[in-house]
RNA sequence: UCCUGAGUAGCUCAGCGGUAGAGCGGGUGGCUGUUAACCACUAGGUCGUAGGUUCGAACCCUACCUCAGGAGCCA
């Protein structure tokens, strides 16, 4: 198999007769030789290739512009100049694919907004190469976190007929022709179907069989949200645990965030250094702070009190029974706690039917984990396991039991206390990279009016 | 969806009523074990689209489109 630059650059000593491949970042010519910097995506660093002007292949140089792909045979030698440990003294250069002057990626910096318009080329840039290498490592770390604790990965359906109530607008999935008068019964599945907004309800069925499970997959929301924190298609991690109460749920959520922050610090040092230098100068300090400082927990009622006593004038009034606004959450996470904080026991009126009612009759065992800069990164709850209470909640929310019969069955047959949460994968990536727009941590972002690939 | 702001060369931007500019990128030449190299010359534009005001519009007005930031909703 061809060696990657990551492997070549890790060499302990000079090596004769190697072959390197990659895309040209820049070419600098001198009278005696040309310097090419190539990258192949395997790591942040590139390899400097030195091509002696006397070599026959030197006549290729005018055609080797930024973006071209090349293959080089030569010797890996210690670089006599500052800037790199190793360089490749070329013997033969083959131009695999030319890139002409219209290649959009220049040696100078580009705005993320421009790079979003060329999502097929932006992974070749420093910023996006780093983002997507981190995305892959974080994805693996998530599986590790759960698998190390004996959780089972469950593949919940992408197409579903159940609306995880309260989770937002749905994308319809149909094979019926547009404008058709056909009834839903005549559609492919014989009923209306949608892209999933959450695997939670199906996840609960597996938690009530395998114990501790998690899902990690794409979810879809047809909300007309135009913000830096929302996408119509995003990835979500949803663990669901039998015999967990809300406190255990919060403990796992905190451990989950910490584990991933630690993975970022330990497994992505090159990328972290780049983000800290060019994206967010406080990133490394904030991530380290996240590991050392215990996460705080504040009940919703305490949160409302501290907001009222803060002396701050908020644009939206602080009222017990209403949802916390972005400005309220930001104040709590960024100014009051100055770190990650979990807010729990929300008013039952503003939360979905499946959350467990607390004994006060006014709140449910729900929790949101907020991080500075991003806001809500995790939302979860203990689920209502009592058959009669769940039925009453469904009736109150105007849901028919017939539509959720399988879900209610979990409470009818061997019901157990259980809890879970959902973590937005992209929001986690924003937190660990410092990248401020969700569109820049997804390979191909889907937002309202935008799905060009 | 609402509020605010922005659309000028391939990219980043300046120009804000009177002949369309710079840097980078491209081309040509020079110089140099170079490091987003450097120096000189050069090519490159229906100023987002459509109307309007004006002797004259990139600039002022209207509508629309697109993008960004903030808000709502949420992960």
Q: Report if CB A230 to strand B is under 7 Å.
A: yes
Measured CA A174 to C1' B66 distance, in angstroms: 30
Q: What is the mean pLDDT of residues A402-423?
A: 95
Give yes or no: residues A214 and A90 share one domain.
no
- A109 within domain boundaries: no
Residue A449 lies in a domain: no
The answer to whether residues A242 and A366 belong to one domain is yes
Question: ipTM score of the complex?
Answer: 0.88
> Token pair for residue A333?
């996470």
Structure tokens at A45: 């660093």
Residues A147 and A262 in one domain: yes
Residues A259 and A350 in one domain: yes
Same domain, yes or no: A92 and A127: no
How many CB atoms are located within 10 Å of the residue A350 CB?
A: 14
Indicate the residue among A64, A97, A130 that finishes a domain: A97
pLDDT of amino acid A343: 97
Question: Is the same domain home to A217 and A144?
Answer: yes
Instruction: Give the per-residue pLDDT at A453.
Output: 84
In a shared domain, residues A218 and A155:
yes
A423 contacts A396 by C-beta, under 8 angstroms: no
In a domain, A106, yes or no: no
Q: Would A304 be classed as within a structural domain? A: yes
Q: Are residues A130 and A49 in the same domain?
A: no
Q: Which residue is nearest to nucleotide B24 (CA to C1')?
A: A108
The DSSP bridge partners found for residue A367 are: A344, A380
Q: Is the CB of A226 under 7 A from strand B?
A: yes
Indicate whether A107 belongs to any domain. Answer: no
Task: Provide the pLDDT for residue A165.
Answer: 63
Shared domain for A180 and A239, answered yes or no, is: yes
Q: Which nucleotide is nearest to A423 (CA to C1')?
A: B75
- At residue A161 the predicted structure's pLDDT band, cuts being 50, 70 and 90, is confident
Beta-carbon contacts of A60 under 8 Å, excluding residues fewer than 6 positions away, are A93, A95
CB of A13 within 7 Å of some strand B atom: no
In a domain, A382, yes or no: yes
CATH label of the domain that carries residue A292: 3.30.930.10
- Assess whether pLDDT exceeds 80 at residue A339: yes
Give, in order, the Cα–Cα distances in Å from A48 to each of A43, A371, A434. 14, 40, 29
**A145, A54: one domain:** no
List the one residue out of A124, A122, A100, A99 whose CA is nearest residue A111. Answer: A122
Q: How far is the CA of A439 from the C1' of B58 (A)?
A: 31
Query: Is A424 within 7 A of strand B by CB distance?
Result: yes
Residues A81, A194 within the same domain: no
Q: For tokens 């050392």, name the residue.
A: A292
Q: Does A319 contact strand B, using a CB cutoff of 7 Å?
A: no
Of the candidate ranges A30-34, A167-171, A266-270, A416-420, the one whose mean pLDDT is the lowest: A167-171
- Is residue A305 assigned to a domain? yes
**A106 CB-to-strand B distance under 7 Å:** yes
The single-letter DSSP state of residue A355 is: B
Q: Is the CB of A138 under 7 A from strand B?
A: no
Is the separation of the CB atoms in A366 and A320 below 8 Å?
no
**Whether residues A341 and A192 fall in one domain:** yes
Strand B closer than 7 A to residue A89 Cβ? yes
The interaxial angle of helices A126-148 and A425-433, nearest 10 deg, is 120
The predicted-structure confidence for A303-325, as pLDDT tens digits, reads as follows: 999 999 998 888 899 999 999 99
Q: Is strand B in 7 Å reach of the CB of A110? A: yes
Pairing of strands A159-160, A172-173: unpaired
Give yes or no for residue A167 having a pLDDT over 80.
no
Inside any domain, residue A184: yes
Mean pLDDT, chain A, as a whole number?
93
Write the CATH number for A87.
2.40.50.140
Burial of A2 (0-12, 13-18, 19+ CB in 10 A): exposed
Distance A288 CA to B20 C1' (A): 52
The separation, in Å, between residue A107 CA and nucleotide B17 C1' comes to: 38
Residue A368 structural domain: 122-440
The total domain count for chain A is 2
How confident is the model at residue A1, as a pLDDT? 87
A439 touches strand B (CB under 7 A): yes
pLDDT per position as a tens digit, A195-243: 999 999 999 999 999 999 999 999 999 988 889 999 999 999 999 999 9
d(CA A372, CA A334): 5
Give the pLDDT band (50/70/90) at residue A164. low
């Amino acid at each position: 198999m061809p060696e990657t630059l990551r492997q070549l650059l890790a060499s302990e000593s000079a090596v004769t007769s190697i072959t390197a491949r990659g895309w040209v970042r820049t070419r600098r010519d001198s009278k005696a030789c040309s310097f090419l910097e190539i990258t192949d995506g395997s790591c942040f660093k590139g390899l400097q290739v030195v091509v002696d002007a006397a070599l026959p292949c030197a006549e290729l140089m005018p055609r080797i512009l930024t973006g071209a792909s090349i293959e080089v045979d030569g010797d890996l030698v210690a670089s006599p100049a500052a800037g790199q440990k190793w360089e490749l003294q070329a013997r033969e250069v083959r131009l695999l694919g030319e890139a002409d002057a219209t290649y959009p990626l220049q040696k100078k910096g580009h705005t993320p907004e421009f790079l979003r318009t060329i999502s097929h080329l932006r992974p070749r840039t420093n910023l996006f190469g780093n983002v997507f290498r981190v995305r892959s490592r974080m994805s693996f770390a998530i599986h590790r976190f759960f698998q190390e604790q004996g959780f089972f990965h469950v593949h919940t359906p992408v197409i579903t007929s159940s609306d995880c109530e309260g989770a937002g607008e749905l994308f319809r999935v149909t094979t019926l022709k547009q404008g058709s008068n056909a009834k839903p019964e005549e559609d492919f599945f014989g009923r209306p179907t949608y892209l999933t907004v959450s695997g939670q309800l199906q996840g609960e069925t597996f938690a009530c069989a395998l114990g501790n499970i998690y899902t990690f997959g794409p979810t879809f929301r047809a909300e007309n949200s135009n913000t830096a924190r929302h996408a119509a298609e995003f990835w979500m991690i949803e663990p669901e645990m039998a015999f967990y109460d809300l406190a255990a749920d919060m403990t796992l959520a905190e451990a989950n965030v910490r584990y991933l922050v630690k993975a970022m610090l330990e497994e992505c040092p090159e990328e972290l250094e780049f983000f800290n230098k060019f994206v967010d100068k406080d990133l490394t300090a904030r991530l380290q702070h996240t590991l050392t400082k215990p996460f705080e927990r504040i009940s919703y009622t305490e949160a409302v009190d501290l907001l009222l006593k803060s002396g701050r004038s908020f644009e939206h009034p602080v009222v017990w029974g209403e949802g916390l606004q972005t400005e309220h959450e930001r104040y709590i996470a960024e100014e009051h706690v100055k770190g990650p904080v979990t807010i729990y026991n929300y008013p039952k009126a503003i939360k979905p039917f499946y959350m467990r009612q607390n004994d006060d009759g006014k709140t449910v065992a729900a929790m949101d984990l907020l991080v500075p800069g991003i806001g809500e990164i995790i939302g979860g709850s203990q689920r209502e396991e009592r058959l009669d209470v769940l039925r009453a909640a469904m009736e109150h929310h105007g849901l028919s039991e017939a539509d959720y019969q399988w879900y209610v069955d979990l409470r009818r047959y061997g019901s157990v206390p259980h809890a879970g949460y959902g973590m937005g994968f992209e929001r986690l990536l924003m937190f660990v990279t410092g990248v401020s727009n969700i569109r820049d941590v997804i390979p191909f972002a889907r937002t309202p009016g935008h799905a060009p690939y």
